[in-house]
Structure 1
């Protein structure tokens, strides 16, 4: 049990919501310049694929999405992508906390999700 807790403590901060660190470099992640995101409007059932350059905000409905980092696995490994994303809902006051800030994983979309009544967002790929 203590060994499991140590392993979680060492790996957890890199992927925890609110962390500004990326996936561990020793895990073989490669930095990329843009992210491909899938956005869903739950009211209209409209799905949109967004291409977001790291550091440049993109809009979807009332959301402003900024990808701060996007990392992918090398081609010789199992495909995966991880993006550090900040999401602001522009319908809320400017002083409100962000709707989401943290790492999203392509192969584990439920691990760290945007919890919003109208929109869903997930990372598809880093390029």
Structure 2
């Protein structure tokens, strides 16, 4: 049985992996919720990072916004949506030079507010 929105744990930190396709290097980086971290030409901002409680099937999801900084120094939104740690290919950010995907959330002990809808609704 999946955890309801009220049972999910809200975490203050999202952990991402980023691939630099030029060098082949994969970097892991932490981002606080509502903070922005730049990875290559991408700016990654998690808006929420939720996990199921330990008594439920493990699942980690985050609502993330990703902007690209163009060569003209303009900001362009290239992704806004849910990322699932269990299915990194489902909603990973694919970019010609950098890819970004969610690994996990950490630091949470507070249940998520009930106004956050269940994933998939």
Common fold by TM > 0.5: yes
Conserved? CA contact 1:84–1:104, under 8 Å: yes
**Structure 2, gaps ≥5 residues long:** 107-121
Q: Higher helix proportion, which one? A: 1
Of residues 5, 23, 39, the one that matches 1:60 is: 39
Structure 1 runs of 4+ aligned residues shifted over 6 Å read: none
**Structure 1, gaps ≥5 residues long:** 1-22
Q: Higher strand proportion, which one? A: 2
Does 2:88 align with 1:106?
no
Number of positions where the alignment pairs a residue of Structure 1 with one of Structure 2? 103
RMSD of aligned Cα (Å): 1.9
TM-score normalized with structure 1 length: 0.73
1:1-127 correspondence runs (5 A): 25=5, 28-91=7-70, 94=74, 96=76, 98-127=77-106
TM-score normalized with structure 2 length: 0.77
Distance 1:84 1:90 in 2: 20
Distance 2:86 2:12 in 1: 19
Q: Which has the higher contact order (CA 8 A, sep 6+)?
A: 2
